[in-house]
Amino acid sequence: MTKRSLRTSTGRGLEPWPVLGLLLLTVVVPTACVLWFMSAAMRNERLAVRQRLTQAYRQHALAAQEALEKHWLDKQRALAKADKLPAARIFAELVTSGVADSVVVYDKAGQLEYPLLEAPLAAEPDEPSSPWLAAGELEYQQRLPGKAAEAYATIPREAKDRNLTARALRAQARCLAQAGRKHEAVVILTGPLASAELRGARGAGGRLIAPDALLLALELAEETDSRQFRALAGKLADRLSDYGDPAMPSGQRRFLMLALREVAPDVPAFPTLAAEHLAAEYLEARPPPARPLQLSRAPGDLWNFPSAGGEVAAIFRTETLLAEMRSAGRLDEPFAGATLALVRPGSPPAEAEAVLAVAAPRQMPGWKLELRLAGEEPFAAAASRRNAIYLWTGIVGIVIIAVLALMVGRFVSRQMRLARLKNDLIATVSHELKTPLASIRVLVDTLLAGRYQDQWQAREYFSLIARENERLTRLIDNFLTFSRMERKKVAFEFGPVKLDEVVAAAVEAMADRLNGPNCKLEVRVAPDLPAITADRDALVTVLLNLLDNAYKYSKDDKRIAVRAYEADANVCLEVADNGIGLSRRAAKNIFDRFYQVDQSLTRSAGGCGLGLSIVKFIVDAHGGSIDVATQPGKGSSFTVRLPVGGAAGAAGSRKD
Ligand code: ADP
């Protein structure tokens, strides 16, 4: 009767791994997809930004090119407008209006018109006549300046030519000054010589005599801070700033400008002086002919931009030209992390590689506009904000997937646990109920058929039926407790409990077996054990399960000990046996539901693997603990520790 029949399969066959694997796949695959999309989106974003920026850079460079072109067209218009004026006026007009650093003007035949170092005389003065010779004799041979002055004074009356008249007056003034008669000299220099009539009179090399006479008058003046002196200086300054007729040779103008600033430092600086010097410097270098309306290099770090007809050449210094271009094309303003640089023809390549280059406007052949990145990669900087959005979206997506998977996982695992429990329960119940019922039926049939020898045998059969019945009752009790445990419907009735009573009740309930011939029971309860707050019936269930196991898992010569004692503010209940013991791994799992060390189909010991899980549940509810000391083949010792204070009310007081 004790041999078990075949066990039905349990829910343990319901492996979680395929489901877990599938679940993992549902997380890993979308996560991998999200990551792939994310990285692709980030890469595309970087490319798109690079493309957009390059497009914007091109627009920027083209806008600068257009601005430069407009700048040159303005210059072209200014040159064309000035072209109609006399040569000297063209120079003055273009220089003072800032169109060019300097200007050189040619006539239609390509002959230089301005600046001329000397002005050709319209008509050469007459050969020196006898009065000139006589006066010259007195001045240079006899060194009689007074007499020479008188001799020179007679010439203007006879002279037919205004140039000769002016020359004679200048010679007279010179001799008077030499004779110490400075005042008389000044009167001539600022009087007749400064008259409108002699305004165009020229001396050697085409120099205008009147402005020279004014300078001489200033040099002869004794008081340099008199009103008259200042008026004279002002008059000469006006004359030097006047580029109208009669034209002054540029050499004379530059000389007088410098000399006047020395004699009268208060005179304001001449705005055209630098341009005059530059034009002279330019012409001295003999520049090659340049193409109209095209900027070309000239010797001496200068640049030339001739008008449409080539008559007016605007001259630029390199630094002025570059500054003008920078401001016209707004090249100094950084644009989206990049700057535009104007590159001259033939200049060495810059250190930083250009992102893109466009040709400068057609007026600047060979020049280029290059766009270079300033500092860090602006593409990355511009893309990083978008990328951060992608990144966060990706992370949020992955987190959502993970959370959903976790929820689904928990749900599935709960469902699987339930399914397993159901399977285990059905399998165990059907098996464990079938065996005792079959035994009872056989015994009852035997008794009914009168197949027993005597009264003792009949009695033995009855006691066997009673034992199977007891087993069934305990089994069903365990199922009911387990079912309540699962539905969280277990309620304990806590009250003062004395352990000796619990021990007595449990031993009494199993007296039949424990006092059997092949079993030796030892009960040792310490005297004066404190009462604990607990559910008495529940503790009896605990002890019954432990005793049942000790009995079941011991061989023929069973020695079972029940001890109750106090240790470390706990009352302890110990059930030790000399049974088959447990491996270390099995000892870890025995408190799990439906766990049985021997899962073979022909287990000899009855049971459904619920006893110890019920024991643990009850002990936990009392705030206690349970552990097992065991050795395979030597026996096991289960110790339940319950706090002396108890865990009153831990699970309410309702009993289901
Ligand atoms: P069962 O109804 O199978 O006895 P339990 O939950 O009471 O279920 O015990 C779980 C398993 O622990 C048992 O199947 C048995 O293998 C092992 N076990 C329990 N008590 C002992 C013991 N005293 N000696 C050896 N093995 C034990």
Per-position DSSP letters for 263-275, written without gaps between them? H-TTSPPPTTHHH
CB of 596 sitting under 6 A from ligand 1: yes
- Has residue 601 got a pLDDT over 60? no
Average pLDDT over residues 103-109: 91
Gap from CA of 136 to ligand 1 centroid (Å): 154
Gap from CA of 590 to ligand 1 centroid (Å): 7
- Residue 389, pLDDT score: 84
Average pLDDT over residues 602-615: 78
**Looking at per-residue confidence, does 512 or 600 come out higher?**
512
- Has residue 648 got a pLDDT over 60? no
Gap from CA of 628 to ligand 1 centroid (Å): 11
Return the ligand 1 atom nearest residue 581 CA: 25
Q: State the chain's mean pLDDT as an integer.
A: 85
Gap from CA of 596 to ligand 1 centroid (Å): 6
Cα gap 472→113, rounded to integer Å: 137
The tokens of 611 are what?
Answer: 């006893």
Average pLDDT over residues 611-617: 92
Backbone φ and ψ of 580, nearest 5°: -75, -15
- Has residue 649 got a pLDDT over 60? no
Q: With CA atoms as reference, report the closest residue to 14 among 483, 424, 598, 610.
A: 424
- Residue 375, pLDDT score: 67
Question: In testing the pocket of ligand 1, which one of 481, 549, 600 has its CB within 8 Å of the most ligand atoms?
Answer: 549
**Which residues sit opposite 250 in a β-bridge?**
none
CB of 547 sitting under 6 A from ligand 1: no
The tokens of 291 are what?
Answer: 């193409």
**Residue the block writes with tokens 């083949």:** 633
Q: Give the chain's count of helices (H) and strands (E).
A: 18, 15
Q: Whose CA is nearest to atom 4 of ligand 1?
A: 607
Give the tens place of pLDDT for each residue, 146-162.
Answer: 999 999 988 877 667 78
Cα gap 119→98, rounded to integer Å: 26
Give the tens place of pLDDT for each residue, 542-565.
Answer: 999 999 999 999 988 999 999 999
Question: In testing the pocket of ligand 1, which one of 542, 553, 584 has its CB within 8 Å of the most ligand atoms?
Answer: 553
Average pLDDT over residues 595-606: 68
Question: In testing the pocket of ligand 1, which one of 612, 616, 617, 618 has its CB within 8 Å of the most ligand atoms?
Answer: 612
- Has residue 64 got a pLDDT over 60? yes
- Residue 402, pLDDT score: 87
Q: Which of 169-183, 263-277, 415-429, 583-597 has the lowest mean pLDDT?
A: 415-429
Average pLDDT over residues 624-652: 82
- Has residue 112 got a pLDDT over 80? yes
Q: With CA atoms as reference, report the closest residue to 534 among 643, 400, 607, 383.
A: 643
- Residue 34, pLDDT score: 83
The tokens of 602 are what?
Answer: 């022909």
Average pLDDT over residues 60-83: 93
Gap from CA of 331 to ligand 1 centroid (Å): 91
CB of 608 sitting under 6 A from ligand 1: yes
Gap from CA of 545 to ligand 1 centroid (Å): 9
Can you give the residue ranges of every domain in the chain?
120-248, 380-476, 490-652
- If pLDDT is split at 50, 70 and 90, which confidence band does 132 have? confident
- Residue 354, pLDDT score: 80
Q: With CA atoms as reference, report the closest residue to 564 among 572, 556, 553.
A: 572
- Residue 629, pLDDT score: 96
Gap from CA of 544 to ligand 1 centroid (Å): 13
- If pLDDT is split at 50, 70 and 90, which confidence band does 525 have? very high
- Fold topology of 120-248: 1.25.40
Q: With CA atoms as reference, report the closest residue to 325 among 283, 284, 367.
A: 367
- Residue 236, pLDDT score: 92
Cα gap 364→373, rounded to integer Å: 24
Express as a percent the part of the chain with pLDDT over 70.
91
- Residue 602, pLDDT score: 53
Return the ligand 1 atom nearest residue 478 CA: 2
CB of 635 sitting under 6 A from ligand 1: no
3-state helix, strand, coil in the chain (%, to 5): 55, 15, 30
Cα gap 594→364, rounded to integer Å: 95
- Residue 313, pLDDT score: 94
CB of 475 sitting under 6 A from ligand 1: no
Q: Whose CA is nearest to atom 7 of ligand 1?
A: 611
- Residue 33, pLDDT score: 86
Gap from CA of 582 to ligand 1 centroid (Å): 9
The tokens of 601 are what?
Answer: 């189909």
Give the tens place of pLDDT for each residue, 313-364.
Answer: 999 999 999 999 999 988 888 787 788 889 988 888 777 778 888 999 999 9
CATH of domain 380-476: 1.10.287.130
Gap from CA of 576 to ligand 1 centroid (Å): 13
- Residue 559, pLDDT score: 96
Gap from CA of 154 to ligand 1 centroid (Å): 158
Return the ligand 1 atom nearest residue 549 CA: 20
490-652: CATH class = alpha beta
By the 10 Å C-beta count (0-12 exposed, 13-18 middle, 19+ buried), 596 is classed as buried
CB of 618 sitting under 6 A from ligand 1: no
**Looking at per-residue confidence, does 338 or 211 come out higher?**
211
- Residue 380, pLDDT score: 67
Average pLDDT over residues 33-44: 84
Gap from CA of 581 to ligand 1 centroid (Å): 9
Give the tens place of pLDDT for each residue, 28-37.
Answer: 888 888 888 8
Return the ligand 1 atom nearest residue 635 CA: 24
Ramachandran quadrant class, 205 (left: phi over 0; alpha: psi -120 to 50; beta: rest):
left
- Has residue 376 got a pLDDT over 70? no
Q: Which of 23-32, 103-112, 369-378, 391-400 has the lowest mean pLDDT?
A: 369-378
Degrees to nearest 5, angle at CA 609 with 585 and 637 = 55
Alpha helices in 266-377 (DSSP H): 273-284, 318-328
- Residue 32, pLDDT score: 87
